[in-house]
């Protein structure tokens, strides 16, 4: 029997369809269907100024606008050889790791809901997420579409009292993680629905270009914060958690463990942030025209490797603009993870990948 699951996303993360071929309740074929949210992001950017594209990056992964901003700013800075002040580098790390916290917490809540749990785990996660979004609003003026990064730094400095409030939230976050782990990690229903389900082998993860928590859950020790040490990540002490089985349970646990590592980074960054400017005064805002050339910049976004490829012909807008979105790449192995599983497992496997269709379709 052929079943079309969609075009709404079964986990409500975006508009998406799966064409599934079943034998009884077992999946024998699955084809993802993309394109329902296509917004022509890359072609619009080729007809827009470099700075004018910054707000569009917010809309790629609309849960993680600040990391989207950073990946794009990093690429333009490589293209134009722009330096970033110390304080701005710290602010970028702080906002990126806060973004990782709220992304992973929300993902776990959604995953539990995908399994048929009540809304309680999701509401617990959203309670913590709201505190972080309040910080983003106080810093950038927006809760989700922050448009905060600029070439050579950040748009504005943190207001008075912001750092103290951030420290309180970060210091209190481990209690939330302790409660989450206590109630969920040994839950027999969760373990039955996730252990041995949607197994992604280490070899397939590498060969398919899978990145982020999904790859690390399969034992792939690859984190761009460690590999490239972009920004100032080389100054911070943190570990890269790895899974052993590559199943849904490992992907669930990796997110919990990564949040604890993000807290370590945040505590170090909040403790060591220096005074000073938040943007290079030499960085041009108007009439910005980088010299002809090309650059690829990438970061470790909460979902995996987020990269931008830019070609400049010396004009005010990019000659070529291309996004490498982790959601799209990580979705390419969905069929491999679902073959032989029940139709009920498909939704759980899909939820464990952590996708936003805004960046998959662009």
Residue 100: the pLDDT is 94
As a whole number of angstroms, the distance between CA 184 and CA 63 comes to: 24
Give, in order, the Cα–Cα distances in Å from 185 to each of 16, 188, 191, 255. Answer: 29, 9, 8, 12
As a whole number of angstroms, the distance between CA 303 and CA 325 comes to: 9
Rounded to the nearest 10 degrees, the angle between the axes of helix 248-272 and helix 86-114 is 150
Residue 353: domain span: 2-361
Residue 3: the pLDDT is 83
CATH code: domain of residue 140: 1.10.645.10
Burial track 346-355 (b if 16+ CB lie within 10 A, e otherwise): bbbbbbbbbb
Provide the 3-class DSSP secondary structure of residue 313: coil
Residue 8: the pLDDT is 65
pTM of the entire predicted model: 0.92
Give, in order, the Cα–Cα distances in Å from 335 to each of 132, 201, 304. Answer: 35, 13, 19
Number of domains in the chain: 1
Residue 211: the pLDDT is 93
Pick out the chain residues at pLDDT < 70. Answer: 7-14
Q: Which tens digits make up the pLDDT trace of 6-64?
A: 766 554 566 788 888 988 889 899 998 888 878 888 899 999 999 989 999 988 888 89
How many other C-beta atoms lie within 10 A of the C-beta of residue 215?
A: 28
Residue 13: the pLDDT is 60
Residue 12: the pLDDT is 54
């Amino acid at each position: 029997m052929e079943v079309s699951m969609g075009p709404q996303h079964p986990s409500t993360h975006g508009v998406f369809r799966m064409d599934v071929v079943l034998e009884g309740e077992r999946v024998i074929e699955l084809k993802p269907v993309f394109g329902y949210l296509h917004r022509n992001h890359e072609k619009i950017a080729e007809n827009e100024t470099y700075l004018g594209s910054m707000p569009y990056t917010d809309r790629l992964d609309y849960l993680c606008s600040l990391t989207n901003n950073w990946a794009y700013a990093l690429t333009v800075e490589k293209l134009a050889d722009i330096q970033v002040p110390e304080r701005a580098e710290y602010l970028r790390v702080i906002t990126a790791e806060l973004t990782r916290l709220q992304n992973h917490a929300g993902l776990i809540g959604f995953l539990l809901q995908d399994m048929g749990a009540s809304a309680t785990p999701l509401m617990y996660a959203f309670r913590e997420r709201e505190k972080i979004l309040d910080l983003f609003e106080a810093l950038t003026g927006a809760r989700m579409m922050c448009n905060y990064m600029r070439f050579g730094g950040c748009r504005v400095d943190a207001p008075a009292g912001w750092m103290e409030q951030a420290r309180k939230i970060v210091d209190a976050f481990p209690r939330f993680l302790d409660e989450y782990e206590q109630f969920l990690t040994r839950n027999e229903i969760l373990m039955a629905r996730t252990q041995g389900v949607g197994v992604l082998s280490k070899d397939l993860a590498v060969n398919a270009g899978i990145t982020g928590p999904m790859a690390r859950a399969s034992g792939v020790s690859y984190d761009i914060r460690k590999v490239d040490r972009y920004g100032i990540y080389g100054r911070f002490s943190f570990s890269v958690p790895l899974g052993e089985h590559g199943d849904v349970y490992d992907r669930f646990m990796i997110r919990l463990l990564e949040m604890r590592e993000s807290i370590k980074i945040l505590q170090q960054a909040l403790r060591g942030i220096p005074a000073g400017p938040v943007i290079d005064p030499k960085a041009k805002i108007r009439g910005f025209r980088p010299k002809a050339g090309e650059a690829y910049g990438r970061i470790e976004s909460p979902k995996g490797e987020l990269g931008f490829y830019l070609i400049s012909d010396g004009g005010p807008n990019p000659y070529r603009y291309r996004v490498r979105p982790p959601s799209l790449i990580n979705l390419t192995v969905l069929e491999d993870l679902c073959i032989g599983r029940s139709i009920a497992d498909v939704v759980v496997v899909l939820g464990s990948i952590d996708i936003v269709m805004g960046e998959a379709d662009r």
